[in-house]
Structure 1
Amino acid sequence: MFVPAGLHSATEERRHLDRLARAGADLFEVALTHRTPVLDGPVIQSAYRRTLQRGKVLDRTLRATEHAASLRPTVVMTYWEPVSRHGSERLARLFADAGAGAAGVMVVDLPAHGRTLAWRREGSGPAHPTPRPAPLPRRRLPQRYCRSFGMALRPRQRGTHRLPGRPLDIPALADFTRRLRSASPLPAVSGVGISTPALAARVAPLVDAVVIGTPIVRALTTVPGQAPALAASFAQALRPTSLTENRA
């Protein structure tokens, strides 16, 4: 379940996370928002603007992550600019050690020259930062992903962006996932563009997790009370064929 941190007050946000977890979310992806989220669609971009207007973005993200992680495994999603601005090691320590309890940080636009940090936990001990490699051209993705930490996220379409109204390329997703699994033990996650429970059900057999976001974010920003029922419809469509994370 993809949730931008800071959409609502801390009390409301905790309540929404509680309800989404009860509705069937098995994982949370909490967004540390960014001013130019070029890889996100208009609904999520609008939600980001709303969270930025509320201020204290990092503090709100830490609080949201801490509560989400108390309910379900949680990953923080962000862009390279906030990571470079706050410092990758500092962010890793904050999200892993300062009570937030995140399992990792996903940087969706990591530059070829850059490196960010993930971490591994051993028992109840401190987090150990480890370098996460930068992405390579598509033909070499499996070799590089097999050395990454956490999970490999499969975009919705060939290329970075999908044209409005263009259908999800299911055969391309299946081919990529087969190649990825031949080279990496990491869970394969499909996200972005999974807009209906029916489409989620088609994608689920191909991957280890499905990320749903835009439908949930739209509900959270318009009629928050409808978000749990919507999440439940995706969860029902996905089970028992896949582990469910919701984003889009």
Structure 2
Amino acid sequence: MFLPAGLHTATAEHRNLNALARAGADMFEVGLAHSDAFLDGPVIQSAYHTALRRGHVLNRALRTVEHAASLRPTVLMTYWDPVASHDPERFAHQFADAGAAGIMVVDLPDHAAGTWQRTAAKAGLTAPRLAPRTATDQELGAIQQTASGWLYAPAATTPTGYRGPLDLAALAAAIQRVRATVPLPIVAGIGISTPALAAAVAPLVDAVVIGTPVVRALQQSPDSARATVAAFADALRMPQH
């Protein structure tokens, strides 16, 4: 499951992480706050703006990853600008030292992809990449060459937070095309807004990421986030027919 670093105080954040792990989160994706999160919808953008107002964004994210990684495998989710501005090699080693298993740069520029993968590998990190539905076979091949760990396949072709229906047939076809090109596990997220949708998407992929429903709960009533995660975890663990 996804949550942004710095949404709450460190004490509250650690308490939330503990509760979400107990509720059934198998892994954590920790988002580094960014002022221009153009691939994200209003809920996550709002959470990022809260974190930015708190300041010390990078240090808070390192501490969040450190605690999350003590509970479950943890990946940092970030935009490229913070990586580039903090020096990619130093950035990678800082999060590796904090316990991250990988760093996914959602808007990784093609010209920087190869160098970034090697930089992450030197720090002992995987470098998952986004596999857009619109990517051509040639583009998927290039993504494969500069990705490690897994690929992130959006379930909806929208920013995060989409709450409408999913075209499962189109998603299945897209996943099949990616699998034929890229021999990496595939993780789906974006638009998986209900436990029922999570259960429907799960047979198509290797893992499902839940983001906006959990972030919304953390913003409105942090105690309710545990029930939200538990509902999704229960749906994903039900036998699929």
The normalised TM-score by structure 1 is 0.86
Q: Deviations over 1:184-204 (max 9, x none)?
A: 231101111111001111100
Q: How far apart are 1:182 and its partner, in Å?
A: 2.0
The structure richer in strand per residue is: 1
The match for 1:211 is: 209
Using a 3 Å threshold, how does the CA distance of structure 1 residues 128 and 84 change in structure 2: closer, same or farther?
A: same
CA-to-partner distance for each residue in 1:145-179, whole Å, 9 max, x for gaps?
43311110012334x65896653221121111112
- Does the aligned pair in 1 maintain the 2:127–2:149 contact within 8 Å? no
User: What is the aligned counterpart of 2:135 among 120, 123, 138?
Assistant: 138
**Unpaired segments ≥5 residues, structure 2:** none
- Which residue of structure 2 lines up, in the alignment, with residue 245 of structure 1? none
Comparing both chains, which one has the higher relative contact order based on Cα–Cα distances under 8 Å and sequence gaps of 6 or more? 1
Aligned mates of 1:163, 1:44 — CA distance in 2: 8
Of the three residues 155, 168, 182, the one matched with 1:170 is 168
Tell me what 1:119 maps to.
120
Given that 1:23 and 1:231 are in contact with CA atoms closer than 8 Å, whether structure 2 keeps it comes out as yes
- Consecutive unaligned residues of structure 1, counting only runs of 5 or more, are 121-125, 243-248
Superposition map of 1:142-221 within 5 A: 142-147=140-145, 148-158=147-157, 161=159, 166-221=164-219
Aligned length: 234
The 8 Å contact of residues 28 and 68 in structure 1, kept in 2 or not, is answered as yes
Amino acid of the residue matched to residue 195 of structure 1?
S
- Provide, for residues 17-44 of structure 1, a one-character-per-residue CA deviation record: whole Å limited to 9, x for no partner: 0000000000100011100101111011
Moved more, 220-229 or 144-153: 144-153
SS of alignment partner, residue 119 of structure 1: helix
1:222 to partner: Cα distance: 1.1
Q: Is the CA contact 2:73–2:100 (under 8 Å) kept in the aligned structure 1?
A: yes
Per-residue displacement from partner, 1:76-115 (whole Å, max 9, x unpaired)? 0010111111111111100012xx1101111111123223
Greater mean alpha carbon deviation, residues 127-136 or residues 76-85: 127-136
Q: Distance in 2 between matches of 1:138 and 1:24?
A: 33
Letter paired with 2:106 = V
Shift of 1:135: 7.2
Match of 1:25 in 2: 25
Q: CA 1:63/1:185 → structure 2, altered by over 3 Å: closer, same or farther?
A: same
What letter matches 1:11 in structure 2? T
Measured in 1, the distance between the counterparts of 2:2 and 2:216 equals: 11
Aligned partner of 2:78: which letter? T
Q: CA deviation at 1:14?
A: 0.6
Q: Partner residue of 2:13?
A: 13
Residue number in structure 2 paired with 1:123:
none
Tell me which stretches of 4 or more aligned residues in structure 1 moved more than 4 Å: 128-137, 160-166
Structure-to-structure mapping, 1:101-116, within 5 angstroms: 101-115=99-113, 116=116
